[in-house]
Structure 1
Amino acid sequence: MTFLVKVSVSPSEFLELFYVTYGSFIPLSETDVLEHLKNKCNTDFIDKKLNIHLEVLKYKAGLASIPMNCFKVDYNKHTLTLEDLSTLDDQNWVNDQVINMYGELIMEATEHKVHFFNSFFHRQLVAKGYEGVKRWTKKVDLFSKSLLLIPIHLEIHWSLITVDMANHHIHYYDSQGIVFKYTIENIMRYILAEAKEKKQATYQNGWKMIINKGIPQQKNDSDCGVFVLEYCKCLALKEPLQFTQDDMPKVRKRIYKELCDCKLSD
């Protein structure tokens, strides 16, 4: 008789619901299971972690043999498949679909005081200039926003440019300390062109470019996209950048859950 049977409680119901809700066990942590059991039984199972771990492994192996290939998340104009969400697993590179839907959640969380540019924006700007992206803000007044978030994807690396509208500052964040200055200059020219197009004289001069140093840095070659999303969330919610490479496994799981729940967690 196993420990879980002895205490008349099993994580199986919780695990099954978790699997249906999130399409996989990628975002599952032992803390989730322990918290569930603690709430259900009003007791702490921390000293029985090994027993619970073995039970969870056994149950996960059974469910994992029935993959939920049709699982998807629909939110506004975004659709995430299990393949998209799986880019948050382990040390995979996150893809554009994950980046863009997370940006949508950030805008919702800030009541659209922050604007998140689609990850394809900068590529289009480089390829076709201002005229090629002018229509992207047809229904958006950038000059009513407090902060603009612009993810930059250059081949195999993500970085972030932000625009502080009130202070006329354009900030650059990179989790490897690399500086692609021309990307900041591209955004500077874009803001000036947009201000001219929308007849916003206040925003047609006085801009300053700032390279942010002393920020959290990655220690591998796979977490740049996750760092960018965490920069975005912290900056949008005015929280300090107090995370490290060691936090990335936990951050990946949290982002996966937030995407499936279609809202940022507290």
Structure 2
Amino acid sequence: MPCHLTNHWALLVCRLKDCKWEFYDSMKTKRHRSGLPGLVKLLHEEASRALPSDINDWPIVEVTGLPQQANGDDCGVFVLKFMEVVLSNEVISWSECCSWLAETGKFRAEIAADLLTTFSEISSH
């Protein structure tokens, strides 16, 4: 779940099999993490009938070693890249992603191209 936390985007991943949350943040601060229990509570209130247990009791584990952004503008790009890695189900060493900082311009262009291509395909149907 992409989370907007005090003017910053981060990613909260629900690991149903492990009964835990994973928090992916490209600009770590305690302030960002402090809003997570409230988000989990809201999610629980909205989806409690669809979930196997009380997700409020699950630990929130901060994923370490993640690439970190160097400005206040790239958090959305980093969230999308984190999602890409998580959804791939590949075991990854986050140190392999240290080039992300230098490649955010390329990533933004790829995201724009994907959106435009998808929109074009939808419009043509």
TM-score range, shorter chain: 0.7 to 0.9
Aligned residues: 111
Taking a change above 3 Å as real, the CA distance of residues 155 and 191 of structure 1, as seen in their structure-2 partners, is closer
The residue matched to 1:221 in structure 2 has which SS? coil
Taking a change above 3 Å as real, the CA distance of residues 190 and 156 of structure 1, as seen in their structure-2 partners, is closer
Kindly indicate whether residue 86 of structure 2 is the aligned counterpart of residue 230 of structure 1.
Answer: no
Q: Deviations over 1:65-107 (max 9, x none)?
A: xxxxxxxxxxxxxxxxxxxxxxxxxxxxxxxxxxxxxxxxxxx
Bigger radius of gyration, 1 or 2?
1
1: CA distance, partners of 2:69 / 2:33: 20
Distance apart, 1:234 and its partner CA:
1.5
Distance apart, 1:191 and its partner CA:
4.5
1: CA distance, partners of 2:69 / 2:24: 12
Q: 2:102 maps to which residue?
A: 246
Distance apart, 1:247 and its partner CA:
1.7
Taking a change above 3 Å as real, the CA distance of residues 189 and 155 of structure 1, as seen in their structure-2 partners, is closer
Taking a change above 3 Å as real, the CA distance of residues 232 and 255 of structure 1, as seen in their structure-2 partners, is same
Distance apart, 1:181 and its partner CA:
2.9
The residue matched to 1:254 in structure 2 has which SS? helix
Query: Is the 8 Å Cα contact of residues 172 and 211 (structure 1) preserved in structure 2?
Result: yes
1: CA distance, partners of 2:19 / 2:39: 12
Q: 1:152 maps to which residue?
A: 3
Map residues 63-142 of structure 1 onto 2, 5 A cutoff.
none
Query: Is the 8 Å Cα contact of residues 169 and 208 (structure 1) preserved in structure 2?
Result: yes
**Residue type at the aligned position of 1:186:** G
Q: Which moved more, 1:154-163 or 1:251-260?
A: 154-163
Distance apart, 1:246 and its partner CA:
0.9
Query: Is the 8 Å Cα contact of residues 161 and 172 (structure 1) preserved in structure 2?
Result: yes
- With normalisation by structure 1, the TM-score equals 0.37
1: CA distance, partners of 2:9 / 2:15: 20
The residue matched to 1:257 in structure 2 has which SS? helix
Taking a change above 3 Å as real, the CA distance of residues 188 and 154 of structure 1, as seen in their structure-2 partners, is closer
1: CA distance, partners of 2:11 / 2:50: 27
Kindly indicate whether residue 44 of structure 2 is the aligned counterpart of residue 188 of structure 1.
Answer: no
Query: Is the 8 Å Cα contact of residues 5 and 35 (structure 2) preserved in structure 1?
Result: no
Between 1 and 2, higher relative CO (CA 8 Å, sep ≥ 6) is seen in 2
2: CA distance, partners of 1:252 / 1:164: 28
Among candidates 113, 117, 120, match of residue 261 of structure 1: 117
Q: Could you say what the CA RMSD is over the residues aligned between the two structures, in angstroms?
A: 2.4
Taking a change above 3 Å as real, the CA distance of residues 199 and 214 of structure 1, as seen in their structure-2 partners, is closer
2: CA distance, partners of 1:184 / 1:256: 29
2: CA distance, partners of 1:199 / 1:249: 39
Q: Deviations over 1:201-238 (max 9, x none)?
A: x4126522101111111112211111111111211222
* Identical positions, percent: 24
- With normalisation by structure 2, the TM-score equals 0.73
